[in-house]
Amino acid sequence: MFESIQQWNRKARKWLWLLVIIGILASLPLGAVRYQMEKTSDEVEFIFDYRDLVLIASYQANPQDFIAEQLPLMKEAGIGTMAVFEGSLEELFWSGRISYYNSAQAAALQGKPAPFNENYTYILFNDPSSKEQLEALIRQPFDLEQINVRPWSFDGRDGLTIETPVENAVVKPMLPDPTALAMLKEQGFHLLPRLSDRMRPYDAELTEDMIEMFAGLGVKRILFDGGSVKGYADQAELKSLSSFGHLLKEHGIGIAAIENLRSPQNGINTLAYITDYNVTRLYSLSEAESMTIKPSVMADRFLLAAKDRNIRMFYLNGQPLRSLEKASIIHSLDNVYEGLKGDEDTEGAVALLESQGFKNGVAEPFDYQYESWMKIAKGVVAAGAVALIALLIGGFIPVLLIPAFVVGLIGSAGLYVLSPAVLEQALALGAAISAPTLAMLWVIGRIRLHTEGERRSVGGQWRASAERNDVDKLFGGQWVFPGLSAGRRVTMAIGLYASTAVISLIGVPLIIGLLNNITYSLVLQQFRGVSLLHLAPIGLVALYLFLYTGTSVLDNLRKLLKLQITVLWVAAAGVIGVVGLYYLSRTGNAGQVSSMELVFRSLLETTFGVRPRTKEFLLAHPIFILGLFLALRYRAAWVLLIVATIGQLSMVGTFTHIHTPLYISIIRVLLGLGLGAIIGLALIAAWQIAEGVWRRWAPKKAKASE
């Protein structure tokens, strides 16, 4: 019976590998479509926050003159777009269009005592044209909330009384100031409106008028302010989100998605779908960074965002600050200009991006077309991923090889009905874990073949080729294998290193095929399970080494359970735990990086054009080369393969960053492998020198002690 199962498994394993290969072939056209898509958008757009400019100007002696001076300087620096928020009383005050007071201040202005039991807002228009342009704009949000607004005047100036406190009045969102929009358009700026979902209830007619006004001003894209897109809150009752999305689509207006928000803005995925993914990713430079960041660092950061993360919009903030050192109010505009224009010694962001093929203009979305054949190809890729996962399970429990594949297919079909996106992400995670783990299991098998002899069965006994003097120790068997020369071990190590990388990268086309959707490129959806990907292969390889490389699994397990736990073991476990937590803190987009490492990363980026992953070429790959060389002679060196697993999973993990262009990921992996091999060979040379010195010195020491 057992032999029959083994025969079935051997046949099934061949067929499953064939299915994996077919899945890889099916993924190639999907990868080609993605590669072509990533080449369809090459213009970048620099945007400044107009509200910040107005705020900075409000601290100047002549605010309007200051704005008039700065706008040409912005154009000269390369800023072609102004972000305009929904209006507010505060912003109108900053821009010098109105003045506002509370009841006590208004009474003092008129030489009267403060009124009893009244806390209203009093507004004065600073000139007749402001009254004509702004009165209806100001009334609108208060009328929606049925807050009484009535005329008021003082000293020949018209105004309004709003029966709500100033603190409440200044936070009410209004339509953008049409005068400011017209002025910016006249100055040659494109406009990027920032809308919120705070104007409630959703007014379809008012919103349609606003979008038509934006379309008439040449607006190409909307950016949202706050945690939700416009129309999200009233979707259940008024279908407002759907209505707003169709308005945008009708007028050819897209949306911008802000990178690295703690959580995506509510409703943005729905809007992206309705607008046929007319979406561009946006990177925002904060107010504090605009003030303190070095211009050269700003330029490098923008280049990295455009090249490595498909960012096409760069949002610049500004702020005024009180400087005690300079005894004046300072601002960040000059630093921003220098970062964009550069100076005599440093190339600015605009020129740097243009030198890499990113022209300064108006950002366009990627041209993505979903064809009917892609669904069939993705189904074949999914079957290949199920086969790869089954092969991993069978590598540990052979009897489950065929059942795992059958259950995987049935489960995938059921999950596809419930949620295709969850199925894609689950299979992508499974393939990402399986490929590097199977690669490491394969290389362990090759090492055992060249040291202990031929294996009889998966997880079973090995035909030992030499004496076993250490049978009572963990694993048993030989601990030194003297048969291979150093030169032979070097060439074998290089061959095994390259072959293992190829097997690990089998998972990459499957991931690319499964996640071949514009939503992943725009980070509207993301690869899930990053922490699991960075832990599971390491744990599985460690498990395989400790349980499956000996006389039998049960024998190794028995020996492990009989091991005496010492203080040293506990301390070692603690160190491993701390290292593991640090390792996890470095994974994913939120990984923590020191300032020194940022400098090192920048150096790598400047030197190679694409930054290889540090943990690959400085740690895992060199240790892998050295570990392979040593493992062909010393059994204890097999534990180095556990650390080497980091490099294999990291290569696969590189391609789970779908927003990174394919060619960048390919170059990054190849650079890591090449540099890692060079450093690994240097480590082998150092080991050989140290071993030679030890062999000469140890006998002399032994004689001296006699």
pLDDT at 469 over 60: no
Residue 464's pLDDT band (boundaries 50, 70, 90)? very low
326 and 469 both lie in a single domain: no
Cβ(99)–Cβ(126) under 8 Å?
A: yes
Q: HSE (CB half, 13 Å, CA atoms) of 118?
A: 17
Domain count within the chain: 3
pLDDT at 463 over 60: no
Q: Is residue 412 a part of any domain in this protein?
A: no
pLDDT at 588 over 60: no
Per-residue pLDDT tens over the stretch 124-164: 999 898 899 899 999 999 988 899 999 999 999 999 999 99
Nearest Cα to Cα of residue 80 among 442, 397, 340: 340
Rounded average pLDDT over 577-597: 58
Q: In the chain, helix, strand, coil percent, each to 5? A: 60, 10, 30
562 and 678 both lie in a single domain: yes
Of 24-38, 261-275, 304-318, 578-592, the one with minimum mean pLDDT is: 578-592
Higher model confidence: residue 328 or residue 84? 84
Residue 669's pLDDT band (boundaries 50, 70, 90)? very high
CA atoms of 333 and 629, how far apart (whole Å): 57
445 and 518 both lie in a single domain: yes
Per-residue pLDDT tens over the stretch 549-566: 766 777 777 766 666 677
158 and 187 both lie in a single domain: no
In the three-class reduction of DSSP (H, G, I as helix; E, B as strand; rest coil), residue 74 is classed as helix
* Predicted local distance difference test score (pLDDT) of residue 344: 78
CA atoms of 662 and 305, how far apart (whole Å): 15
Cβ(82)–Cβ(184) under 8 Å?
A: yes
625 and 549 both lie in a single domain: yes
107 and 222 both lie in a single domain: no
pLDDT at 576 over 70: no
Mean pLDDT of the chain: 88
* Predicted local distance difference test score (pLDDT) of residue 467: 44
448 and 574 both lie in a single domain: yes
Last residue of a domain, one of 360, 375, 400: 360
Q: Is residue 425 a part of any domain in this protein?
A: no
666 and 546 both lie in a single domain: yes
- Rounded to 5°, angle at Cα 169 from 266 and 144: 65
77 and 108 both lie in a single domain: no
Provide the CATH number for the domain around residue 228.
Answer: 3.20.20
Instruction: Give 17-37 as a DSSP string.
Output: HHHHHHHHHHHHHHHHHHHHH
**Which range has highest mean pLDDT (94-98, 395-399, 646-650)?**
646-650
132 and 80 both lie in a single domain: no
Residue type, 490: V
Q: Is residue 154 a part of any domain in this protein?
A: yes
* Predicted local distance difference test score (pLDDT) of residue 343: 82
Q: Is residue 372 a part of any domain in this protein?
A: no
Q: Is residue 277 a part of any domain in this protein?
A: yes
| Count of CB atoms situated within 10 Å of the CB of 689 | 10
* Predicted local distance difference test score (pLDDT) of residue 585: 59
320 and 346 both lie in a single domain: yes
Per-residue pLDDT tens over the stretch 66-94: 999 999 999 999 999 999 999 899 989 98
Domain of 146? 88-174
Q: Is residue 13 a part of any domain in this protein?
A: no
CA atoms of 319 and 325, how far apart (whole Å): 17
Long-range contacts of 582-587 (CB under 8 A, 24+ apart): 583/534, 583/646, 584/531, 584/534, 584/535, 586/615, 587/530, 587/531, 587/534, 587/653
Residue 243's pLDDT band (boundaries 50, 70, 90)? very high
Last residue of a domain, one of 302, 334, 360: 360
Q: Is residue 422 a part of any domain in this protein?
A: no
CA atoms of 177 and 180, how far apart (whole Å): 5
Last residue of a domain, one of 129, 150, 174: 174
Rounded average pLDDT over 33-54: 94
* Predicted local distance difference test score (pLDDT) of residue 698: 63
77 and 94 both lie in a single domain: no
C-alpha of 585 from chain center: 14
Q: What is the pTM of this model?
A: 0.86
CA atoms of 255 and 281, how far apart (whole Å): 9
Give 112-129 as a 3 state SS string.
Answer: CCCCCCCCCEEEEECCHH
Q: Is residue 530 a part of any domain in this protein?
A: yes
pLDDT at 511 over 60: yes
- Outline where 233-327 has alpha helix (H): 235-238, 240-250, 268-274, 287-292, 295-309
Q: 82 has which bridge partners?
A: 48, 191
